[in-house]
Structure 1
Amino acid sequence: MTETAFNPAGTVRNAVHQMDIRNILQWLTSPAAPQPVDELPILRSHLQALREIQVTSVQRAHALDRMYKRGMRVIACLLPSLTRDLVLPVPRKTRRIVNGVLGLLQMLADDMLALLEESSLARPPELALWRSLQALAQQLMISHLIACPAPTGAWQQLHQTYARARRLQVDTAVPRGTSRRLQDVYYSAVLLGCAQPTSLTPQEVLFLADYFERFSDQVEPISTELSVTSATFWIDPARDVAAFSALRKLSRPTAPLDCFSCVRLCFLLRAQIAQLDAGISAPELNLPDFAGTSAGRGVLGRLATRWSDLGKRRFIRRRQNHRALLGSGIDGLWHLGQKGAPASVNVSTWMVTNESPEGYAVMHVSGNTGVLSVGNVVAIRTDADQNWQVCLVRWALSENPEHLELGLQILAPKAVPAILAQPSHDTGTEYLRVLILPEIPKLRSGQSLVVATGTLPKEREKLLLLIEGDNVSVREVSRTGIEEQTGSVEIMSIAPIQNPF
């Protein structure tokens, strides 16, 4: 009589594995948690468990498919709350949530790629590659939202995942259940990285991410041997960085470079801006609603200009390490411009790390920074100059809750505080605090007015300004053009109205 060997430990282990996969699948059928943030740790723990237990390739693919869909739904629900009223530096609680989201996206991207290694899984590779690219693109976009450097390895993994799709000749495929090619997912992420995301507010990052999703097919891959322009970019798949402008000199690449052109996209941008200015609505042009706002048109305009005319830096930056005081916002600058600025004006201390005649790079040292955002105005006063210089925040970088760096462009050596009177038939006269920037020879031929975005009707050409100095003076001016539009301020050129009598 033959005896059959029996392995109790192996039987128990297999039973545990089956129980684990049943638990995962049962959780995936349960209703979503009332708060999306509560789903993040559970999703990550189930993904980790799925990596460790022994299941068939079909079971793993089925569970990953459902976890990917649920994870993306959770992240889509979280994004509005993460970006609403976001201030810099990002608070600890918000950053913890963001780190949880980034960790989940990394696990999804890795596990989707791991599916391709399952030799017994007979299914087309494009869906797993598409989802891995999408998870990495979302991870990069969310890093841009909080002005944080991309996670280590994210750009390199994005480039190499797309290179794999090209080797398998599925880069132009549209997997079932999706609406875009793998190539479009990849270039959407790359274009957002080329748009200098540190110079964008969270709302502007989301807007451009949506815009590139719709129009990334305008990108033209080209040979590196063709002549380069300001709208041409290089990608080194072996490096963990976004695309480089082709006008920049690169160190010797470790791998063949990929090259693409945004010339066609720039033509489209300028045509869309002209149509928006002519009164055509954003939805009619297949644009996100934000494109119809002043800030939206400003973003598109800056992007078209940047990619059409990327000039060299005019001035050399000089490294510094001296202190400066900083005040922010139109109201703060308005008070600082008064002779007797109230003690309640919010002023913080910063370290100037480098400077040029055009502006400064500064790092926060101490004090309440107030509400700071890219595109807002600030005033800076250094030990060498007791005037409050007026600057525009061009970029922001925040690696952790205690770290904040800003890039400031100097607008004027000082500003004159004024009151803008806006008569209204419905609510009476409204009075707004504004700033008048003086004329600067060889740079600005006339005066400019800084107002909060959206406070001045587009059709109002004549403006009444009240200026309080030694005496109160009243000036009537007309606006002659728009110099800058951001999500926080509009800067317009003005000219005095000559009285014919």
Structure 2
Amino acid sequence: MLDMSPLRDDVGHPFKASVRANELLEFACHMSNFSLPLLLRAPTPTQSSLTFSEANPRDLKRWISRLPKANLGEMARQLYQGLTELNQLITPSENRLQLLELLRPEVYFVCKHLERHFLNQAIVLDERPRKVANLCQALQNHLATGYKQIIQQVAPRYTRDQAGLFSTALQRALHGLNGPLIRANQLYCPVQDGLWLELHQIYQIARQYQLHNTPVEEPLAHHSKVLSVEQTYVIALLMGCSRCNQMRQLNIGKLADALEAWSPLVKLQLPVTESSLFALDPTVDKPPLYRTLFSDEQSPRLLGINTYALAEAINQYLALPDDQRTPSPLLIPTGINTDLLQHLAVAWGDVAERTFQRTAGQGTLKLCIGMSALHFYVAGQKSFSELLQLNSAGSAASFSLKIANDDEDDPWASAFDTQRGKTSSHLLPYEEIEYPKNDSDNDSLSNGQHTFPTFDLNIVNHSPGGYCLAWQREVPQQLQAGELVGIQDDSGQGWSIAIVRWIRQVRSGGTQMGIELIAPFAQPCGMQLIREQQNSQYLRTLMLPEVRAMEKPPTVLAPRLPFQEGNKVMINVAGEERRASLSNRQVSSASYNQFEYQMYDAPKATETEKARPDQEFDSLWGTL
């Protein structure tokens, strides 16, 4: 987890995020005596020179050319010290901007290459990757601080001829703050105190001077050559209302790369209107919220965010057949998959309302993670092959001699070295070798007698639809948003099926996650894909019951691959094999698909299953 202690400026005073709203409103209304930038966190320069370079672009370029790019640690150290000194340097805004522009790509180079140390790791980071993540946060915060100093210097005495300088500093400051915001989301950590308030303030300054839509050249952009202050601000706002805690870490990074291309489709509305799905109070250190969560009294000072055009563009793209999606009016960068687009279309397209009220909880739940573990425990800790009642694949191999060409008129039949008989009994004596079965050779049918780990988690709160659970110890690496889990209460009566909806790290320490119940129980089974030449192996699947009260048909939870809509499959339940077809895919996540299915024929018992005397009544139990 990142260090979430309050950030301090170089003077040593912690930033007070809870600035009074009436003060901010007064500042915004009296632009002739502009004081709003003074609330930005930036030190007052006190030094007249730099120790590592002369304070001019030519000398700084020479210093940058000598940075050891092959040694990221040393390069990061030098950049960190250089930025710290630069933020203490007394220099004109024009010169400061030139120096920062030279350092900026180097900072992003280092941060990008250091990500491998803390991304795609366990959710709770060990000490070393946590320090690397904090270093990246600090580098980009120091870079943003330099641009904020320019804003502080220029805003009170702004003139038209400074428009290029001022708009660049505003855009760069927002872009610099977006980095720590995105990284906090990737690590499921709280955003640092004051960051949202600074983002809001910088945009309000740009809007006050009519610079918010001025195009600014952006060499670090992925999909365009220019980004305005408003577009850069919208990137942050979209990150704030994308429900990133419900997304996988990799997808959060992909989303961040795509947002600059999508930001022109989002409208910021002042004053807020009925078409604003989200809104924010620029005087408060908070991300956007649904507009309906604000009171009427708050409306006059709200900034509205209309995301409907973007959500509609995503929905139109998803409605196209696969072969018609390229080219698309909506730019879909590489790596943006259908699951992520569906998530974003929902997040930006309508208000999410909680179905059930939460109740504070107590006690613990036992939890297992992943399809393999869930299948194992739902099946009563039986091995997969035992559950399917399949013949063991590990019996000793049996060999016999087979004549390659046994024709009556074989011209070689009379050769002296071929007339030894037609069976292995005529061979020379040999030693039988029995090769033991290796369980790892066949994961889908492995006995898996080893037990899967379970975890006892404290209940923070609960509702009929799910739980908020707290991890008190180390979080396993396989835990991800969208992962299947099984839960069992203290009574130990059966396992319920759930999915991890969100993950977050709390400031008080520890990790919390929200899980949504999918079904109170499931039927463990195996499913294989029927092919013309050879069927696939059986893979672990779970059959979920029909919920008639909610008009939900029976479904099956299956691995992401190889199963798709329209596939013909064989389902094995306790040794009974039945043909079926997969139809509507209701849910798709990074770890599983949920399909509706239709059975074709009556159960076909495998050779290992014997008829039961009460079998004739099986169809009766469900109707009584």
**Smaller-chain TM-score range?**
0.7 to 0.9
- 8 A Cα contact 1:346 1:369, kept in partner: no
> What residue is the counterpart of 1:65 in the other structure?
101
What SS is found at the alignment partner of 1:179? coil
Q: Which moved more, 1:182-191 or 1:360-369?
A: 360-369
Partner residue in 2 for 1:493: 596
Query: Conserved in 2, the CA contact under 8 Å of 1:233 and 1:259?
Result: yes
In structure 2, the residue matched to 1:249 is 294
User: 1:132: Cα distance to partner?
Assistant: 0.7
Which letter maps to 1:100?
L
Q: Contact between 2:167 and 2:206, CA under 8 Å: does it hold in 1?
A: yes
1:450–1:490 contact (8 Å) kept in structure 2: yes
SS in 1 for 2:250: helix
Partner residue of 1:332?
Answer: 373
How many residues align structurally? 477
1:289 is paired with a residue whose SS is coil
Quote the residue 1:114 is aligned against: 149
Identity of aligned residues (%): 20
Could you tell me which amino acid in structure 2 is paired with residue 45 of structure 1?
A: Q
- Deviations 1:316-343 (CA, angstroms, capped at 9, x unpaired): 1110121111100011101111223556
Task: Decide whether the 8 Å contact of 2:368 with 2:454 is kept in 1.
Answer: yes
Q: Is residue 365–residue 457 contact of structure 2 (8 Å, CA) maintained in 1? A: yes
* Contact map agreement 1:147 1:397 (CA 8 A) in 2: yes
Aligned to 2:268: 221
Give the Å deviation of 1:498: 4.4
1:495/1:90 Cα in 2 relative to 1: closer, same or farther (>3 Å)? farther
- Deviation string for 1:424-446 (max 9, x for gaps)? 67986333222222222323532
Tell me if structure 1 keeps the 8 A contact 2:581–2:598. yes
Q: Determine the structure 2 residue equivalent to 1:91.
A: 126
2:516 to 409, 414, 419: 409
Residue 388 of structure 2 corresponds to none
Paired residue type of 2:173: S
1:463 aligns with 2:569: yes
Q: Distance in 2 between matches of 1:137 and 1:124?
A: 20
Counterpart Cα distance in 1 of 2:52 and 2:568: 75
Give the deviation of 1:166 after TM superposition.
Answer: 0.9
What do the CA deviations read for 1:187-239 (whole angstroms, capped 9, x no partner)?
111012111111111122122223322111111223446335xx611111111
The residue number in structure 2 matching 1:259 is 304
Match among 259, 277, 280 for residue 324 of structure 2: 280
Q: Which residue matches 1:320? A: 361
User: Closer, same or farther in 2 for the Cα pair 1:492/1:224, shift >3 Å?
Assistant: farther
Partner of 1:29: 65
Q: Secondary structure at the match of 2:138?
A: helix
User: How far off is 1:45 after superposition?
Assistant: 1.1
DSSP 3-state at the match of 1:208: helix
What CA distance in whole angstroms lies between the structure 1 residues aligned with 2:349 and 2:52?
A: 58
Matched residues in 2 for 1:308 and 1:165: separation?
A: 28
The TM-score with structure 2 as length reference comes to 0.70
2:194 equivalent in structure 1: 153
How far apart, in 2, do the equivalents of 1:405 and 1:100 lie? 25
Name 1:196's counterpart in structure 2.
Answer: 243
**Per-residue deviation at 1:423?**
5.0
- Give the 3-state SS of the residue equivalent to 1:87 in structure 2: coil
Structure 1 Cα separation of the partners of residues 246 and 196 of structure 2: 19
Please state if 1:181 is matched with 2:228: yes
- The amino acid that maps onto 1:89 is V
Query: Larger % of strand: which?
Result: 1
Tell me the distance in 2 between the aligned counterparts of 1:464 and 1:213: 46
Query: What is the DSSP-based 3-state SS (H/G/I as helix, E as strand, rest coil) of the residue aligned with 1:355?
Result: strand
Distance 1:248 1:364 in 2: 30
The answer on 1:144 being equivalent to 2:224 is: no
- Which amino acid is 1:215 matched to? W
Instruction: Report the equivalent of 2:342.
Output: 301
Q: Secondary structure at the match of 2:485?
A: strand
| Map 1:469-484 → 2, pairs under 5 A | 472-484=575-587
1:105 aligns with 2:212: no
Counterparts of 1:381 and 1:365, CA distance in 2: 18
Cα offset, 1:315, TM superposition: 1.5
**Aligned partner (choices 335, 338, 352) of residue 290 of structure 1:** 335
Equivalent residue for 1:9?
none
Question: What code does the residue aligned with 1:95 have?
Answer: R
Shift of the 422–185 alpha-carbon distance from structure 1 to 2, 3 Å rule, reads same
| CA 1:401–1:30: 2 relative to 1, 3 Å | farther
2:204 to 163, 170, 195: 163
| Cα shift readout 1:96-144 (whole Å, capped 9, x = no counterpart) | 2111111111111111110234459955211111111111112111111
1:430 maps to 2:554: no
Q: Distance in 2 between matches of 1:286 and 1:466?
A: 43
Q: Which moved more, 1:441-450 or 1:256-265?
A: 441-450
Secondary structure at the residue paired with 1:103?
Answer: helix
1:349·1:367 contact (CA, 8 Å) conserved in 2?
A: no
Q: Which letter maps to 1:192?
A: M
Amino acid at match of 1:132: A
Tell me the distance in 1 between the aligned counterparts of 2:327 and 2:79: 36
Map residues 330-369 of structure 1 onto 2, 5 A cutoff: 330-340=371-381, 342=449, 344-366=451-473, 369=476
* Contact in 2 for aligned 1:17/1:54 (Cα 8 Å): no
Deviations 1:260-316, CA, capped at 9 Å, x for gaps: 2112122112101112x443346645202233xxxx222222332344342532221
- Local SS of the residue matching 1:52: coil
Instruction: Tell me how far apart the structure 2 counterparts of residues 241 and 29 of structure 1 sit (CA, whole Å).
Output: 40
